[in-house]
Amino acid sequence: MARRQARGVETRERIMSVALEQFGEKGFASVSIEGIAAAAGVTKGAVYYWFTDKNDLARDLQHELYEHLTTLSLQGLDPKGDVVTNMRQAFDVYLEALGSLGTARFFLRDAWMIPELDEAGRSDHRDAVSFVEQLLARGMERQEIIDLDPSALAAVLLGALAEATLHVLTTGERDQTVAVVIHLIESLRLDPEHPQLTTAMTGNKGEQ
């Protein structure tokens, strides 16, 4: 029984590996279940056993990529560290990882233009925004960063990271992009010697 399950998992992984390669090389619209099955050396029935259709398969690949990048980004976080340093570390690791994604870069570069994948990507993005929002709120409570609306700030920071990702993927200018992202994050740091200055610059977030 265990051997049969292991073979099944191996088949699923082979299907996903072949599909990822084809999506990256041919583009989403040009890939078919028939082509994936043939390249993976399995029947169409084997593909449909694991996935409802091509969209379902692509969404699984997309989510696995998100989980992989999230895990990498969070590994270096220091629970005792300040929020700015931790965010710098996480964003730097994320942008560094882009260079080793191979054909998986397709999902970060093109998926937002594909309706079948865009909503799944937005769901993962909302999860990321929620996590960053909590991180920022803790930083504000500790008076480590300027006092702004954490929800809006998280959305803006993750939006900037998404644009930085596209820039790195299309130009290869990782170091220059990281420098800009770090500057953006550092601008949030509260100056302990001049707290009144940062407060005056941001205003009272409760005011209308």
| Domain span(s) for CATH 1.10.10.60 in the chain | 1-51
Q: Is the per-residue pLDDT at 76 higher than 90?
A: no
Higher pLDDT among residues 19 and 124, named by residue:
19
CATH number 3.50.50.100 given to 1-51: no
pLDDT (mean) for 181-185: 95
Q: Any bridge partners for residue 189, and if so which?
A: 145
Determine which of 20-24, 36-40, 118-122 has the lowest per-residue pLDDT on average: 118-122
Written in H, E and C, the secondary structure of the chain is CHHHHHHHHHHHHHHHHHHHHHHHHHCHHHCCHHHHHHHHCCCHHHHHHHCCCHHHHHHHHHHHHHHHHHHHHHHCCCCCCCHHHHHHHHHHHHHHHHHHCHHHHHHHHCHHHCHHHHHHHHHHHHHHHHHHHHHHHHHHHCCCECCCCHHHHHHHHHHHHHHHHHHHHHHCCHHHHHHHHHHHHHCCECCCCCHHHHHHHHCCCCCC
Give the residue among 56, 57, 51 at the shortest CA–CA distance from 21: 57
Instruction: Look up the CATH architecture of domain 54-202.
Output: Orthogonal Bundle (1.10)
Determine what percent of the chain is predicted with pLDDT higher than 90: 68
pLDDT for 1: 45
> Are the CB atoms for 139 and 88 separated by under 8 Å?
no
Q: How many residues does the chain have?
A: 208
Confidence (pLDDT) at 6: 55
Separation CA 119–CA 197 (nearest Å): 41
pLDDT band for position 206 (50/70/90)? Answer: very low
CB 120 within 8 A of CB 62: yes
| Phi, psi for 14 (deg, rounded to 5) | -65, -40
User: What predicted TM-score, i.e. pTM, was given to this entire model?
Assistant: 0.80
| Predicted confidence band of residue 208 (pLDDT cuts 50, 70, 90) | very low
What are residue 80's phi and psi, to 5 degrees?
Answer: -95, -5
What integer best gives the mean pLDDT of the chain? 88
Residue 204 has pLDDT above 80, yes or no: no
Whether the per-residue pLDDT at 200 is higher than 50: the answer is: no
In the chain, CATH 1.10.357.10 covers 54-202
Percent of the chain surpassing pLDDT 70: 88
- 29, 106 Cβ separation under 8 angstroms: no
Average pLDDT of span 24-37: 94
Whole-number Å distance between alpha carbons of 94 and 65: 12
| pLDDT mean over 113-131 | 87
